[in-house]
Amino acid sequence: MPLIHPTFSIVAVLMLVAMVLAAWRLVVGPSQADRIIALDVMAMSMVAAVGGLAVIEEDAELLDVAVATALVAFISTTAVAWYLQKRGA
Amino acid sequence: METAITILAIILAAGGGLLTLIAAVGLIRLPDAYLRCHAAGKAATLGVIFILAAAALMLGSIGAWSRSFLAAALLIATVPVATQLLARGAAAADIAPDPETADYTD
């Protein structure tokens, strides 16, 4: 049992590193598609971090946040991809 | 039994964290938007589902299992669609692929 919290804390830190890498791609670009995919990866990292947080806090209801984040990420990525297709880079 | 489930959850969580990190590294290292869609769509999906499975195993309640299953099903259904749409949008917007990967077009 004492291994649990360190493992999931390390997972949360890894997700933080992933978010920083994606944020670098978000800032640098160069195209709009790169920025959108970086935002998508940041949302996926947040879903994973919330999964780790739910274990650390021992609270299953935190996983609702993961569900909502996954939905919002899909809808926003689809919407911006639609604008990209319609209006160009 | 308890110990075996805990060990399985720890392995799943570590693997999921590494896979999601690999997606972010691919986002940095790969040369153009299409290959970055590839990295984000594949590695992130599997990694996040591993972490959700680990959370469900650790918490063990019916609420945790159902929420994790819902989130995983949503990810499986939506992430490939989103990255495919994004690649289509990038192609329609004439975003140039990397010259090394564009050989098949000419």
Q: What is the interface pTM, i.e. ipTM, of the complex?
A: 0.85
Q: Would you say residue B101 lies in a domain?
A: no
> Which residues between 7 and 66 in chain A have a beta carbon less than 8 angstroms from any beta carbon of chain B?
7-8, 10-11, 14-15, 17-19, 21-22, 24-25, 31-34, 36-38, 40-41, 44-45, 47-48, 51-52, 54-55, 58, 60-61, 63-64, 66
Q: Would you say residue B49 lies in a domain?
A: yes
| Residue range(s) defining the domain that contains residue B43 | 2-94
Q: Would you say residue B22 lies in a domain?
A: yes
| Residue range(s) defining the domain that contains residue A43 | 4-87
Q: Would you say residue B8 lies in a domain?
A: yes
* Residues of chain A falling short of pLDDT 50: none
* Separation between Cα atoms, residue A61 and residue A74, nearest integer Å: 21
Q: Would you say residue B103 lies in a domain?
A: no
**What was the pLDDT predicted at B91?**
82
> Which residues between 39 and 68 in chain B have a beta carbon less than 8 angstroms from any beta carbon of chain A?
40, 44-45, 47-48, 51-52, 54-55, 58-59, 61, 63-64, 67-68
B80 prior amide bond cis, ω within 30: no
**What was the pLDDT predicted at A20?**
93
* Separation between Cα atoms, residue A42 and residue A36, nearest integer Å: 10
What rounded mean pLDDT belongs to chain B? 86
**What was the pLDDT predicted at B35?**
87
Which chain B residue's Cα is nearest to A37?
B37
A30 prior amide bond cis, ω within 30: yes
Which pTM was predicted? 0.87
Indicate the number of domains in chain B.
Answer: 1
| Minimal CA separation from A36 to chain B, in Å | 8
Indicate the number of domains in chain A.
Answer: 1
Point out the residue among B64, B74, B95 whose CB comes nearest to the CB of A33. Answer: B95
Point out the residue among A21, A71, A78 whose CB comes nearest to the CB of B74. Answer: A71
8-state DSSP, A25: H
Q: Would you say residue B31 lies in a domain?
A: yes
* Separation between Cα atoms, residue B79 and residue B75, nearest integer Å: 6
Residue B71 phi/psi, 5-degree rounding, is -65, -40
* Separation between Cα atoms, residue A50 and residue A19, nearest integer Å: 13
Q: Would you say residue B26 lies in a domain?
A: yes
- Interval B39-90: pLDDT, tens: 888 888 899 999 999 999 988 889 889 999 999 999 999 988 988 888 888 8
* Separation between Cα atoms, residue A68 and residue A75, nearest integer Å: 11
